[in-house]
Structure 1
Amino acid sequence: MNNDFLIPIGKRIAEIRRSNHVTQEALANELGVSPKHISHVECGTSSLSLKNFSMFCDLFHCSLDYLIFGNNKNDVLSKLPPEITQILSTGTDADIDRLNRYLQVYIELLNAND
């Protein structure tokens, strides 16, 4: 595969792994590959198998569409700033909870002004 295609995938894999505080070694154990292979995947010089892509998505609750293409095909999500969609796509439960709290405050402020 072309590195121009693999590099962004590797970056998204690394981003998701790091945001969930998982080491390359732990991810490698979960997927049944070597830590060196995970390193190569994240650098864009190698790729996961289809089975391991699927396992990765299950482990981190992300879509294969996001992982491969970086897409969020939701019309509502496409209107949000990329930083918000990134949190929703790759954030930890704590990140999403924090975002929800901010949104609750925003809603309360809107309601207070009515």
Structure 2
Amino acid sequence: MIGEQLRTLRTANKMTQKELAGELSVAFQTISNWENNSIDPSVSMILRIAEYFNCSTDYLLKGDDSSAKYIDTTQLTEHQHAQLLGLAKEFSKLNKK
């Protein structure tokens, strides 16, 4: 499963295997092996991949699309974060109706 998810993320970001390999400091053959499910990345590498693509490890490991529900708010102020959280809750309420 991780190979499919990795390929999807890489191609969605218009990256070659060589470019992603450079970002992760591995050989491009390693990326190819991961994408072809010949070998699995280590746990520490799965964490690095998730961080790089700003997705959850669940998405990488299980294809759980809940990664689309996360927004990186690290660059926001506390006030901006609170406002965004409030908006998300309002949308959630609308979806329940």
TM-score (norm 2): 0.64
Q: Unmatched 5+ residue regions in structure 1?
A: 1-7, 74-84, 90-114
Structure 1 counterpart of 2:14, from 14, 21, 41: 21
Which SS does the other structure have where 1:46 is aligned? coil
Which SS does the other structure have where 1:33 is aligned? coil
Q: Which runs of 4+ in 1 moved over 2 A?
A: none
Q: Unmatched 5+ residue regions in structure 2?
A: 70-97
Residue 34 of structure 1 and its aligned partner are, at CA, apart by 0.5
Deviations 1:19-45 (A, max 9, x none): 011111111111111000100100000
State how far apart, in whole Å, the 1-side matches of 2:50 and 2:8 are. 13
Which SS does the other structure have where 1:22 is aligned? coil
Which SS does the other structure have where 1:47 is aligned? coil
1:1-114 matches, within 5 Å, as 8-72=1-65, 88=68
- Percent identity, aligned pairs only, is 32
State how far apart, in whole Å, the 1-side matches of 2:35 and 2:50 are. 15
> What is the alpha-carbon root mean square deviation over aligned residues?
1.8
State how far apart, in whole Å, the 1-side matches of 2:65 and 2:30 are. 27
Which SS does the other structure have where 1:45 is aligned? coil
TM-score (norm 1): 0.55
Which SS does the other structure have where 2:44 is aligned? helix
What is the aligned length? 69
